[in-house]
Amino acid sequence: MRSPSIPYLCRMEALLIQIEELKKEIAAFNGGDAEAFRIKYLGSKGLVKSLMGEMKQVPAEKKKEAGQLLNEFKLFTEERYEALRSASASNGKAQASNIDLSLPGDPMPLGSRHPISLVKNRIISIFQRLGFAVAEGPEIEDDFHNFTALNLPENHPARDMQDTFYISHPATGGADWLLRTHTSSVQVREMEKGKLPIRIICPGRVYRNETISARAHCFFHQVEGLYIAENVSFADLKQTLYFFVQEMFGETVKIRFRPSYFPFTEPSAEMDISCLICGGEGCSVCKRTGWVEILGCGMVHPNVLDNCGIDSSKYTGFAFGMGIERITMLKYQIKDLRLFSENDVRFLDQFSGAV
């Protein structure tokens, strides 16, 4: 005899109907996504779990029957899940085996070194071969290291030549700070250490208050050199610079020295090289002279040695300084200095692979 409890009976029948419906749905499931199937039917909030929860409402005498039904249904769902899983795994393998490892990869655009860095490194390596060591110093300098020690006392007219950026900030106590106008300040710092002989080059950025144009900028880069020992002569300076020019620009390039003036050297000179464009014939780059200026140099002034605590009766030395931008422009025939600081990749790209 059936239980008189009509709602309970309804519960059992409803369960049967629900299971049948779900079986149909599960058999037809071909979403291909085994994980989505697991979450929907077998997960902790899945349909199998929630049907199990309905067991509570099934009357006691029907519990066994309902339990069996639900277990069967659970097994059925689990089998279907396993089938879906192994199908998608073998599908994945098939996809993996479609990868052709011999195909070339997508090209990755490579950066390149900045032309100023390329030329700076080249200059450094040439002088290193002659035994020069690299020395560095601060870009924010005091008046002594940038000027006074270099035989440019206060009010010296040659200070005007350097268009200095001065820094006045309460934190500096109103003292005489400035952005270095040349890397000669590093040479002073090196001389102060008092370790002789000195054979250094000083690469670095320098600042001058100039209007920006194709030929001038308010910051640029220099490499300056200093050699101090006993019996250093102007002939040593000439030979060192001649070697540098030949290594940098090739063996056919000629050099010449013109007398000049720098407060920190005596005698002083400017060095020209034969024009790389016209080979000395005369063109617009060399202004029809056949020569282009590349650096300043001279024998270190005895006052500078004395200011830095070096015995000028015993030691002599030479110094030179060049702008890296200028050397780079000559080497790569670049017409506008502003290109170096604009970071236009169309310009910079042209140096990829250059050494």
Q: Using CB under 6 A, pick the residue from 297, 305, 324, 329 that binds ligand PHE.
A: 297
Q: Using CB under 6 A, pick the residue from 149, 321, 337, 340 that binds ligand PHE.
A: 321
Q: Using CB under 6 A, pick the residue from 77, 164, 185, 265 that binds ligand PHE.
A: 265
CB nearer to ligand PHE: pick between 77 and 184: 184
CB nearer to ligand PHE: pick between 240 and 265: 265
Coil, helix or strand at residue 213: coil
Sketch the per residue contact string, 169 through 208, with ligand PHE: x for CB under 6 A, - otherwise: -------------x-x------------------------
In DSSP notation, 4-69 reads S-HHHHHHHHHHHHHHHHHHHHHHH---S-HHHHIIIIISTTSHHHHHHHGGGGS-GGGHHHHHHH
CB under 6 A: which stretch of 90-98, 210-218, 281-289, 318-326 binds ligand PHE?
318-326
Tell me how crowded residue 195 is: count the other CB atoms within 10 A of its CB: 8
Parallel, antiparallel, or unpaired: how do β-strands 255-262 and 166-167 relate? unpaired
HSE-up of residue 47 (Cα within 13 Å, Cβ side):
17
CB nearer to ligand PHE: pick between 159 and 182: 182
Copy the structure tokens of residue 91. 């599908």
User: How many positions of this chain bind ligand PHE (CB under 6 A)?
Assistant: 11
CB under 6 A: which stretch of 37-45, 135-143, 278-286, 296-304 binds ligand PHE?
296-304
Tell the smallest beta-carbon distance from residue 208 to ligand PHE (Å). 9
Tell the smallest beta-carbon distance from residue 150 to ligand PHE (Å). 8
| By the rule CB under 6 A, 298 interacts with ligand PHE | yes
CA 290 – CA 328 distance, rounded (Å)? 19
Is-contact 73 23, C-beta < 8 A?
Answer: yes
Q: Among all residues, whose Cβ is closest to ligand PHE? A: 321
Tell me how crowded residue 157 is: count the other CB atoms within 10 A of its CB: 8
Tell me how crowded residue 218 is: count the other CB atoms within 10 A of its CB: 14
Is-contact 201 225, C-beta < 8 A?
Answer: yes
CB under 6 A: which stretch of 65-73, 292-300, 304-312, 331-339 binds ligand PHE?
292-300
Interface residues with ligand PHE (CB under 6 A) are 182, 184, 224, 262, 265, 296-298, 319-321
